[in-house]
Structure 1
Amino acid sequence: MLVRDIFMGDNGVMNKKLNTPNPWMLFIRSFDGIITVAALVAIAIHLILWLALDLDGLAKNWPLIAIVIVGGIPLMWDVLKSAIKTRGGADTLAAVSIITSVLLGEWLVAAIIVLMLSGGEALEEAASRRASGTLDALARRAPSTAHRLLGATILDGTEEIAVEEITVGDLVAVLPHELCPVDGEIVAGHGTMDESYLTGEPYVVSKSKGSQAMSGAVNGDTPLTIVATKLAHDSRYAQIVGVLHEAENNRPEMRRMADRLGAWYTVIALALGGLGWIVSGDPVRFLAVVVVATPCPLLIAVPVAIIGAISLAARRGIIVKNPGMLENASGVKTVMFDKTGTLTYGRPVITDIHTAPGVEEDTVLALAASVERYSRHPLADAIREGAKARELHLPDVVEVSERPGQGLTGTVGEHLVRITNRRSTLEIDPDSKNYIPVTSSGMESVVLVDDKYAALIRLRDEPRASASEFIAHLPKKHKVDKLMIISGDRASEVRYLADKVGIDEVHAEASPEDKLNIVNRHNEHGATMFLGDGINDAPAMAVATVGVAMGADSDVTSEAADAVILDSSLERLDDLLHISARMRRIALQSAGGGMALSVIGMILAVFGFLTPLMGAIFQEVIDVLAILNSARVALPRGAISDFDTQEKVS
C-alpha cells in the first residue's frame, strides 16, 4: 500500500484519472502522520540545542523524550497488537530497539525509530483509505435526488425529492443527462440511456415505452418518464453497492513479505542479543546486536523493489494501484475471466441468417434491427450493424417491451416482432421445430413475426487474436492450475467462447453476487486472479487475491482493481505476471542477502568485535547494497514476457 501512494502521489494525472484522493493529504491528517512530522521537528530541535547551543543532559533531550512518550507508546502498542496477529514481523524488532534505547538513555536512537515506525504506519493508513476509494466512487455517483411528477405527465410539473422517498408506482421524470434514480419502466418519452457504467458493455441503449430503466444509468438528450418498479434501496445500483461493500469488508488479508520474513529474523536477533548480554554481562552488547539487526534491508529493499516494479509496469501501460498484489500475482493458482472485453473484443458480428420458407433475409433483418434499437443487449448492436451494412431501411417501432425471460417484443407497423431464444420459440410456435436448425452453436437470436418463426440469426463474438495461445501459456509458464470464465452473458455464448480459447469451466448468466461467491470459494484453495471491465465485476475484483481491470473506462472498476491494464491487452497481463515474479525474486535476494549479512554482523557484535557505532556503519553498508540490488527491478536487460505476441498474431 505504501508504494502505491508514493507512485500515484507523484503523478497527479493518474490520481485525477482514477479519482483517487491525494495520499499526502491523507498522510498529514492521520495521527501517525502528525507523529511523523512531530518526530522530525523534535530531532531538529534536539540537534540545535546540542550542536548550536551546546546544551547537555535533559536540556538537549527533552524534545526527544517528549516525542518518544507521546508517539512511541501508542506505536509500540499497535506493533504489539500487530505482532500477536501476524505472529511477529519486521516492526517488532524496531519496537524492541525503542525500549532498549530508552533503558540505556539513547533518546536520539529511540526518536529515530519512532520516526521510522510512524512514517510507515501513516503511509499504510493513507493507502488503506485509498483502498476504500471504490465505495467512495460509488457514493459520489449514487443518485441522490429525483423529480416526481405532480400529475399524469411531466407537463403537470414535478417536485424534487430524495430518492429514498420514491415509492413503487411513482411516476418519475428523468431529465437529460441525469442519473436514473430507481429501477423502473419507461411510460413516456423516446431517447437513450448510457448503461455502460453498470453493465461493462460500451453501448448507448435506445429507450421507448415499455423499456426497462436501471438506477445509475445516464439519460441522453431527451427527458423520459418512468414508473418506479422498485424502491431505491432495492434497485440495481444499490444492490451492487451492497455487494461491493460486503466484498470490501471481507477482503482476504495477505501477510506482507516483510512480516513473513521478519518473524524469524526478529527471533534470531533477540536470541543473539540476549546471548551477547549474557556472555559479556554488558547490556550495551545487546544494543550493539540490535543496532546491527535493524531490519532496514527488509523495510527498505522490498519497497524499493516494488517502486521499480510499478515504474516498469507503468512503462508498459499497466497502472499498479495496490503494490501488495505484486507480491502475489505471480503465484496465483486460479485465473477467472469475465467474457466481454477481456477474452473478446466485445464486438459480435452476424455470421449467417437462417430463414423460414418464404421469408426474405433483408426483410426479417430490418424488422429485427428496428426493435433492437431499444435493447441494451450486446447482440442488439451487432444486428443493427448488420442491417446498416446492408443499407436497409428500418421501419418505426410503435411500442417495445423487454421483460426478463421473455425476450424483446416490439410492434413494427402491422407486425408483432419478437426476438427471443429457441426454447421460447418452440413454446410460442411449436411448428418452428420443422424449420429452425437443430444444432445451436455460439450466439443466436430467433426472430418471430406475428408469433411465427421467421429467422434464426447466428452471431459470433470472436476471441482476441492471441486468446487461445495465451490461455495455453498460463499453465505452462505461470503454473496456473485452474482457468474459468465467469460471465453474465448467455450460457451458449460463454460456452462457445470457452471452447474456442480452451477453457473447460464456465459460469454463465452470473450476477455480481454470483461472481463474488465463486471467487470466495476459490480463495479458500489458493491465490486467485479476476479480470473484468465493468462495474458488475467490481465486487469479484475486490475480493480476489489479485483484481485486474481491463481498460479504465469505469472509475469504480479501476478503484476496485489492484491493477489496471489501460489498453485491455492480454499481452500486457503476461507482462504483469512476469513483473510480479521479477519483483519477488529480486526483493527476496535483497532482503534475504541483507539479513544474512546482518546475521553475520550480529554474531560479530555478540563477541564484541562490533561496537554499536561500528554496527551502525556496517548496517548502512548492507542497506546500500540491498537498495542497489532492488533498484534492478526497473531496469531489465532483455524482454520481460516470454509470450511471443508477434508470432501468435501472425
Structure 2
Amino acid sequence: MPSEPIPAARGPWRRHALIAALVLGAIAVSLGLRLAVGDRSLHGPLTWPALPLWLALIAGLPLLAELLVRLRAGQLGADVLAGLSIVVAYALGELLAGALVVLMLAGGQALESWAVRRASFALEALARRLPAVAHRCGETGTADVPLAEIAVGDRLEVHPHEACPVDGTVLEGRSTMNEAYLTGEPFLLPKVPGSAVLSGALNGEGVLTIRADRRAADSRYAQIMQVMRDAEQHRPRLRRLGDRIGAIYTPLAVLVAAAAGLASQDPVRFLSVLVVATPCPLIIAIPVAIIGAISLAARRGIIIRDPAALERIATCRVAVFDKTGTLTYGEPRLTDIDPAPGQSREAVLGVLASLERYSRHPLAGAVLAAARSEHIPLQETREIRESPGEGLEGCVDGRRVTVTGRGQLLARVPEAPLPPGQGGLECVVCIDGAYAATCRFRDEPRREGPAFIAHLGPRHGFRRVLLVSGDRESEVRYLADQVGIDEVRAGQSPETKLALVRELAAHDGVLFMGDGINDAPALAAATVGVAFGQGSAVTAEAASVVILDSALQRADEVLHIGDRLRRIALQSAVGGMALSLVAVGVAALGYLPPVAGALVQELIDVAAVANALRVAWVSRDLADEVTPKPALDQG
C-alpha cells in the first residue's frame, strides 16, 4: 500500500525519458551510418541511414497520440506546434529534423512529469516507512497479513523498532514511540494501555498489542498518500500560462510558415519555419524552473504541495496569521496554578503531570517541564482517554483525573467554583469529579516575529497584516502588541476564520499561515495556505505549502522562492521565444534549412534552460536580513 502512489509519480517521467533516450540513440546511429556510408545518394528516406530515424518516429507515436487527444479537446498549446512540425518533417522526407523535434518534445514532457514528481518527493520518502504487512493476532497465534486486510477492531502486535501499521489504541504492553515525522514533536511519547498510536510512528524497545481503530486506507499515512496524488496531478499555473501563450503563438507561427512557403513555393521552407518556431522554451524551460524551485524549497525544509502557489504568492497583499505555533514558538510554559480549597499546588501538579505525559496536547510539555523543575515525582497512570474537544482523562494512583477547558466544565457543572477568567491559556483540573484547580500558561512570541512582521509591507508589498486566533481577546492582543500587528480577531472558530478569509480574498490575494489542523478550512480558502510543522503539518491536506521546522525565516524564503520562480521562468520563456522569432525571420528568408533550424532551436533551448536553472541556486537574496530582537519578558 505505501508504494501505491509511487508508480503514478514515476510512470509518465520514465515513459517520456525512455522515448527521449530511444530517439537520441536513433539519431546517433543514423549519423554514424551516414558517416560510414559516405555516399550522399544513400541519404534518402528509404536508405539504411534513414531506418533509425523512422524508428524514432515510431517511438514518438505515443506523444503524437497525446497531442491529438488534446487537440480534439480544444487544447491548442505550445506542444501542438511541435507535433505539426514532426508530421510535416516526415511527410517531406526531412527525417533528421523531425527526429530532433521528437527529441525536444519528449525531453520537455519528461521534465514536466519530473517537476510534478519532485513536488511530492519528500512525502514519498515518508510513505516508504510504512510496513507492508502487520502482525495480526488470532486464535491460532500471530500471522503476517497485508495492510489492506486489516479491519477495525483487529488485534495487532507492534514489535520493537517497527513502524506502527495503523492508527489504534494500546491494549497491552509498555513502550515509547517516535512521532516526530508526523507531529513535529522531537521527543519520545510513552505508550501504555489506553494510549493512542499513529500509523508510521516508530516503536521503541517494547512489544505493544494494539487495537486497530482505523483501516490502513483511512490512516494518517493514507492522508499523506492523498497529498502525494494531489501534488502529482497539479498542473502549475505557470505551465498553463505557457499554454495560453502557445494558443496565440501557435496559429501565428503556422501563418508565418505558410506565408513563407507560399511566397517561395517551397514546402521545405514551410517546414523550416515550423521547426524554428517550435516554442521549446515554453515546453522545457518552465518545467525546469519549477523543478529548481521545488528542489530549492525541499533543501530548506519546505514542502511545495502545489507548485502554482509559488506564483500566486506574489499576488498576495493581505497576510493572516494564526497565533499558536506561527508567531509563537508553540511551547507554552506553566505560569500559575490556582488550587481549589482543600487542594495543594504540588498535589495538583503531580497528578496533572502524571496524566499529561501520555498526551500530545501542546500544554502537556509545559506541565511536564514544571513538574521536572520542581522535582515532583510522577505516579502510576492507566485507562488514558483523550478525545478531541473533550480533554484528557485517566486514572492516576486510583483517582479519576480529568483535564478540560473552562467552557466544557461549566457546560457540565454550571456551579463549578472557578476563579475569574484572565488573559492567557488555561486548563481546569478535576479529581474524582470535583473541581481541583485552574492552570494558566503563556506562549512566548518568536524572537524574530516583530522584525518579520515589520518587513512584510516594505519588502513584499503586503498592505494588511492580521492576527486571528480562537484565544481570548487579552491573550491575542498581548501577542499582537509584542509583534507589531494592529488588526486582531480573537475568539475565532474555524468557521469564522473561514468566513473572514473568504471576505478578504474577495478583494485581495490572501496568504494564510497556520498549523494546518484547526485552520484547514481557512488554509484551503486562502490564495496561498502555509502550514507550519506543528501538529500533523505534513498531512495538512488543505495547505499549498508545508514548512517543516516552523521558522518564520522559512516563511520569508517561500516568498522569495516564489518571486524568483516567477521572474526567472518568464525570463526564460519570453527570452527564448524572442530568440526563436529572430530565427523564424531568418528561416522565412530561406537562410535556415530544417536540420539547421532544429539545431538552432536546440541552442536556444540550452540558453533558456541554463537561465531557468538559476532558480535552484542558493543565494544571499533567498531571505531578508531579519534581525531578532532580544527575548521579551513574559512575566
What TM-score does the superposition give when structure 1 sets the normalisation length?
A: 0.76
1:92 aligned to 2:80? yes
User: Over residues 293-326 of structure 1, what are the superposed CA-to-partner deviations in whole Å (9 max), with x where a residue is unaligned?
Assistant: 2324444554565566567667866677886655
**Residue pair 1:244, 1:538 contacting (<8 A) in 2 also:** no
Query: What residue is the counterpart of 1:447 in the other structure?
Result: 429
Root-mean-square deviation over aligned CA pairs: 5.1
Query: What residue is the counterpart of 2:135 in the other structure?
Result: 146
The counterpart of 1:574, out of the listed 556, 562, 566, is: 556
Query: What residue is the counterpart of 1:492 in the other structure?
Result: 471
Query: What residue is the counterpart of 2:373 in the other structure?
Result: 389
Query: What residue is the counterpart of 1:362 in the other structure?
Result: 346
The counterpart of 1:282, out of the listed 266, 271, 282, is: 266
Question: Hey, what's the Cα distance between the residues in 2 that align with 1:268 and 1:350?
Answer: 69
Distance 1:478 1:80, change over 3 A: farther
- Displacement of 1:221 in angstroms is 2.9
1:588 aligned to 2:570? yes
Distance 1:520 1:22, change over 3 A: farther
1:407 aligned to 2:391? yes
1:267 aligned to 2:246? no
1:345 aligned to 2:329? yes
Question: Hey, what's the Cα distance between the residues in 2 that align with 1:554 and 1:52?
Answer: 63
Tell me whether 398-407 or 500-509 shows the greater mean CA deviation: 500-509
Query: What residue is the counterpart of 1:117 in the other structure?
Result: 105
Question: Hey, what's the Cα distance between the residues in 1 that align with 2:219 and 2:629?
Answer: 41
Distance 1:77 1:459, change over 3 A: same
- Displacement of 1:590 in angstroms is 3.7
Query: What residue is the counterpart of 1:374 in the other structure?
Result: 358
Distance 1:213 1:517, change over 3 A: farther
Give the aligned residue type for 1:360. Answer: S
Give the aligned residue type for 1:102. Answer: Y
Question: Hey, what's the Cα distance between the residues in 2 that align with 1:536 and 1:438?
Answer: 24
User: Over residues 481-505 of structure 1, what are the superposed CA-to-partner deviations in whole Å (9 max), with x where a residue is unaligned?
Assistant: 887899xxx9438995697354756
1:464 aligned to 2:443? no
User: Over residues 429-480 of structure 1, what are the superposed CA-to-partner deviations in whole Å (9 max), with x where a residue is unaligned?
Assistant: 54434x42234x3321111233332221111233422335535644664456
Question: Hey, what's the Cα distance between the residues in 1 that align with 2:537 and 2:146?
Answer: 25
**Residue pair 2:111, 2:284 contacting (<8 A) in 1 also:** no
**Residue pair 1:319, 1:566 contacting (<8 A) in 2 also:** yes
1:437 aligned to 2:426? no
Give the aligned residue type for 2:245. Answer: L
- Displacement of 1:596 in angstroms is 3.0
Distance 1:622 1:84, change over 3 A: same
Give the aligned residue type for 2:105. Answer: L
Give the aligned residue type for 1:602. Answer: V
Give the aligned residue type for 1:447. Answer: V
Distance 1:22 1:342, change over 3 A: farther
Tell me whether 441-450 or 219-228 shows the greater mean CA deviation: 219-228
Distance 1:143 1:402, change over 3 A: farther
Give the aligned residue type for 2:438. Answer: L
Question: Hey, what's the Cα distance between the residues in 2 that align with 1:233 and 1:323?
Answer: 28
Distance 1:515 1:266, change over 3 A: farther
Percent identity over the alignment is 43
Give the aligned residue type for 2:261. Answer: W
Q: Tell me the SS of whatever aligns to 1:646.
A: coil
Give the aligned residue type for 1:353. Answer: I
How many positions carry a matched residue from both structures?
618
Give the aligned residue type for 2:335. Answer: T
Query: What residue is the counterpart of 1:103 in the other structure?
Result: 91
Question: Hey, what's the Cα distance between the residues in 2 that align with 1:413 and 1:550?
Answer: 37
- Displacement of 1:141 in angstroms is 1.0
Q: Tell me the SS of whatever aligns to 1:419.
A: strand
**Residue pair 2:451, 2:629 contacting (<8 A) in 1 also:** yes
Question: Hey, what's the Cα distance between the residues in 2 that align with 1:128 and 1:311?
Answer: 11
Give the aligned residue type for 1:270. Answer: V
What TM-score does the superposition give when structure 2 sets the normalisation length?
A: 0.77
Give the aligned residue type for 2:331. Answer: R
The counterpart of 1:74, out of the listed 50, 58, 62, is: 62
Match runs of 1:154-173 below 5 Å: 158=142, 171-173=155-157
Tell me whether 270-279 or 76-85 shows the greater mean CA deviation: 76-85
Distance 1:225 1:564, change over 3 A: closer
Q: Tell me the SS of whatever aligns to 1:141.
A: coil
Query: What residue is the counterpart of 2:627 in the other structure?
Result: 646
Question: Hey, what's the Cα distance between the residues in 1 that align with 2:7 and 2:148?
Answer: 32
Give the aligned residue type for 2:421. Answer: V
Question: Hey, what's the Cα distance between the residues in 1 that align with 2:280 and 2:148?
Answer: 53
Give the aligned residue type for 1:80. Answer: L
Structure 2: segments with no counterpart, 5+ residues: none
User: Over residues 153-186 of structure 1, what are the superposed CA-to-partner deviations in whole Å (9 max), with x where a residue is unaligned?
Assistant: xxxx655555666666655544444444555544
Question: Hey, what's the Cα distance between the residues in 2 that align with 1:414 and 1:577?
Answer: 54
Question: Hey, what's the Cα distance between the residues in 2 that align with 1:446 and 1:579?
Answer: 44
The counterpart of 2:237, out of the listed 245, 254, 257, is: 254
Q: Tell me the SS of whatever aligns to 1:462.
A: coil
